[in-house]
Amino acid sequence: MKKRLPILVKVLIASALVSFFLFAPKLLSTFYVYFLMEIMIWGLLAMSLNLILGYLNLVSFGHAAIFGSGAYAAAFTMTLLGGGFWQALGVGIVAAALVAWLIGFFSTRVGGIAYIMVTLIFCFSVFLLAMSATEITGGENGIYSSVKGLEVIRGLSLDRKPLYYVVFILTALSFFLLRRIVNSPFGRVLIAIRENEERVRFMGYRVKNFKLFASILSGAFAGLAGVLYFFMNSFVSPEAVGLPLSTEVVVWCLVGGTGTMLGPIVGTALMLVIIQIISTYTKFYLLFVGIILVLVVAFMPEGVVGFMKNKFSKE
């Protein structure tokens, strides 16, 4: 028999987490509220990548290009078009989905190392575009646009606490939407493609179409994370579309556990907390982060969440 966590324990843990996030702005200082927003936004980015990495086994190093496109599109909407919150949110998500379609259109036609190389090339190309198109993107100086006072709904401005709750609500909704997607018939086909692509193709499914649509969905959620990132910082620069961020988000997924819903969030939170703690003691914190990553991959190849699930699912 499989040993599982009792339902009551799961409900209590979920309730405690929701209560903590709901009351965090009243309990914590501004620094820690900002840090929680970072965890949620980066966690959302990791969840979006996990849709193709965990459920299709497509290792993409171009996700930062999609994330940053959403952030830049939101910035353009506000600075050039004078758009508000909802316009920036919508344009950012659509722009990121279009970039994801463009990358996916070429990358899903190949596999393995070739797929990785195509996503790398696109990521580097978008980074170069952001650096060189200074009249539009501001180059390495980026784009700044204050979101303070921006109305979400009539009478509710996007100040620190309202922004925190906007990030929390949209991240939570994204989690449940992605959960529904991976548990839907569409999600089951994605898992089948991951396990045996040839068999799925012989069954009559258009594998490339499923991969492309999953890439677009993944891009839309990455774009949402990018828009929230811009709202949080009132700023976006080429770093948001760079290869280092693409690499980091893959690492977060691997640490937490790909192919699980909680894995990307747990991996993101763990890595950010570890970096925050170690960086206060030494400037060589990346060395220790690398050692931790090697240990996790060596002893918990299924990630932290996968390891814990196996512990509670012993025969």
Task: Tell me the C-alpha distance between 67 and 111, whole Å.
Answer: 22
Structurally, how many domains does the chain consist of? Answer: 1
Predicted pLDDT of residue 314: 54
Lowest mean pLDDT among 26-30, 36-40, 50-54, 116-120: 26-30
Confidence band, pLDDT 50/70/90 cuts, at residue 284 = confident
Is the residue at 82 inside a domain? yes
Is the residue at 81 inside a domain? yes
Angle at 92 between CA 86 and CA 95, to 5 degrees: 135
Lookup: tokens for 267:
């991996």
Task: Tell me the C-alpha distance between 96 and 72, whole Å.
Answer: 9
Lookup: tokens for 143:
């784009």
Q: CB neighbours (10 Å) of residue 268?
A: 27
Is the residue at 265 inside a domain? no
> E strands along the chain, which residues?
143-144, 151-153, 156-157, 235-236
Q: What is the pLDDT of residues 135-176, one digit of tens each?
A: 889 888 999 887 776 777 776 677 767 889 999 999 999 999
- Tell me the percentage of the chain whose pLDDT exceeds 70: 93
Average pLDDT over residues 83-95: 92
Is the residue at 222 inside a domain? yes
Predicted pLDDT of residue 88: 92
Is the residue at 195 inside a domain? yes
Is the residue at 302 inside a domain? no
Between 68 and 308, name the one with better pLDDT: 68
Is the residue at 99 inside a domain? yes
Domain that holds residue 185: 27-242
- Tell me the percentage of the chain whose pLDDT exceeds 90: 57
Task: Tell me the C-alpha distance between 16 and 21, whole Å.
Answer: 9
Predicted pLDDT of residue 299: 85
Lookup: tokens for 7:
């339902």
Write down the mean pLDDT value for the chain. Answer: 88
pLDDT over threshold 70, residue 5 = no
